[in-house]
Chain A
């Protein structure tokens, strides 16, 4: 009986250890994108495009915000990057483990359980999201994009944003028996439009009212708005900030719970 004790207690951590070891094989790519993405985006949008936007605002343009475009866009870019990484980690790697290189079945043949496998995969992705968001945050500091004292909390919001969409995607990937381009479809017609219409590059209020619903259902919009509150004190009612947190947490809980259930079902054949 003793042999089951440690796996029951720490199974999720063993899976995370495995996944991080696999990730180490891609460390160079991860570091390159982890550093390259904030550098390029902050420079291109926050510095380059910002000259146009800020000049327009100075000339009395409408729809902008009370801070420079760099400060406005930077927290949104961090959240968006986290979401992209989560999409990457919770799609193909999940299919890989269940189907193409069914290591999850190997884990389950050892003492690990379906829920622990999902937990472990998630822990490892959280580690990556935290590391990536910290690097992003440091670049934001470097560019002078974080004026507020609570700016560091954008790291937490970034992870929550990535995880909220990621957990749902993980549940979907756990359920999916065959990939006939669904992930590609989700990326092109889900994640990219969400990025464009979630108040990332311009406030949601500049869109026609009938398009605002995209923002309301988009975890990226909730994450972005929340990170702006923390980063530069963007003004919104306190209850709305609470809604942002609750919405992101709700998506994570639902996605995670669903993925665990589906994994148990899929492994028990």
Chain B
């Protein structure tokens, strides 16, 4: 697996390269001049809240949405000119499920493979192999509508792999799935990552970004706020640990002043106070020593959620 440090300086052999990429809808800039490079085999994420411009960026990379300005190169080609050529090398898992509900599970794979001009002799065995990979072997002849949400998402991933893509693009892959379904999906994606598939994904789940991404950009209101590996971002923008204190919604603001000097910095949220420090337990002891008795307290590791909060002053999931 390539290390994040080498990845950020691999613009020359990047499979995706964007410079000042912009997409405007009338006066509204959904994507506002972002630049990034994604190296082969890298697992790259766009982390940001809903409406940040992640999906629009994905559609431009996927050569289905024309950019307003800036440069974009995908597998060395310009999406404005070489849409079909680029798309023939991508696997796309959209946010909105678009499996054909009028066809059976296995037929969905075959039919999709035909769009790439692949012959039936290849597609038959390939579909069976992918159904096994997606743990849907027994569902081959089922109707799509009979699958659970997690199964549908796995089928969509299997479908996206039918052409052995160089890049697999996943837009909010686990949104709306229950925890168990998410973990099964992550496991499958992790296997692909191990096999060297380049993954590009968007998510507003920090745990997903931490699990799957070698490197990510934090994106908000169409611009990139920060870039790096999950651990480097946490190191740069947050402390090692966070102490979460709840004094009740009436008292949080009052207590905040007293708590503030105890850590490196604090964030006061409507329901809790976050105290950033390298040692949460020590801070908690100091809070207790001051005679401030929180209703609940929790010491945890810093996460990308904290990075986002620091960068934007807002929570990821609002």
Residues of chain A whose beta carbon lies under 8 Å from any beta carbon of chain B: 1, 3-8, 10-11, 14-15, 17-18, 21-22, 25, 101-103, 105-113, 267-269
A88 CA to B254 CA in the complex, in Å?
67
Which chain A residues lie closer than 8 Å to B100 at the CB level? 18, 22, 101, 103, 106
Can you give 15 A-B contacts (C-beta < 8 A)? A1-B82, A4-B88, A6-B116, A8-B84, A10-B117, A21-B103, A21-B107, A103-B100, A105-B94, A109-B87, A109-B94, A111-B117, A113-B84, A268-B66, A269-B65
**Dominant secondary structure at the B interface:** loop
Contact B92 A109 (CB under 8 A): yes
Contact A103 B98 (CB under 8 A): yes
Which chain B residues lie closer than 8 Å to A113 at the CB level? 83-84
Residues of chain B whose beta carbon lies under 8 Å from any beta carbon of chain A: 59, 62, 64-66, 77, 82-90, 92, 94, 96, 98-103, 107, 111-112, 114-117, 163
Which chain B residues lie closer than 8 Å to A102 at the CB level? 96, 98
A196 CA to B89 CA in the complex, in Å?
53
Contact A108 B64 (CB under 8 A): yes
Looking at the assembled complex, report how far the CB atom of A264 sits from the nearest CB atom of chain B, in whole angstroms.
10
Which chain A residues lie closer than 8 Å to B103 at the CB level? 21-22, 25
Looking at the assembled complex, report how far the CB atom of A91 sits from the nearest CB atom of chain B, in whole angstroms.
16
Which chain B residues lie closer than 8 Å to A267 at the CB level? 64
A17 CA to B163 CA in the complex, in Å?
18
Contact A7 B84 (CB under 8 A): yes
Which chain A residues lie closer than 8 Å to B90 at the CB level? 109
Contact B65 A4 (CB under 8 A): no
Chain A residue at minimum C-beta to C-beta distance from B92: A109
Contact A18 B101 (CB under 8 A): no
A119 CA to B203 CA in the complex, in Å?
35
Which chain A residues lie closer than 8 Å to B77 at the CB level? 1
Which chain A residues lie closer than 8 Å to B114 at the CB level? 14, 17-18
Chain A residue at minimum C-beta to C-beta distance from B115: A110
A186 CA to B82 CA in the complex, in Å?
39
Chain A residue at minimum C-beta to C-beta distance from B101: A101
A268 CA to B60 CA in the complex, in Å?
9
Which chain B residues lie closer than 8 Å to A108 at the CB level? 64
Looking at the assembled complex, report how far the CB atom of B149 sits from the nearest CB atom of chain A, in whole angstroms.
15
Looking at the assembled complex, report how far the CB atom of B23 sits from the nearest CB atom of chain A, in whole angstroms.
10
Contact A112 B64 (CB under 8 A): no
Which of the residues B65, B107, B111, B116 comes within 8 Å of A111, measured between beta carbons? Answer: B116
Which chain B residues lie closer than 8 Å to A10 at the CB level? 117
Which chain B residues lie closer than 8 Å to A21 at the CB level? 103, 107, 111
Which chain A residues lie closer than 8 Å to B116 at the CB level? 3, 6-7, 110-111
Q: Known contacts being A108-B64, A110-B112, A268-B66, is A22 close to B102, with CB within 8 Å?
A: yes
Which chain B residues lie closer than 8 Å to A25 at the CB level? 102-103
A30 CA to B274 CA in the complex, in Å?
65
Chain B residue at minimum C-beta to C-beta distance from A25: B102
Looking at the assembled complex, report how far the CB atom of A104 sits from the nearest CB atom of chain B, in whole angstroms.
8
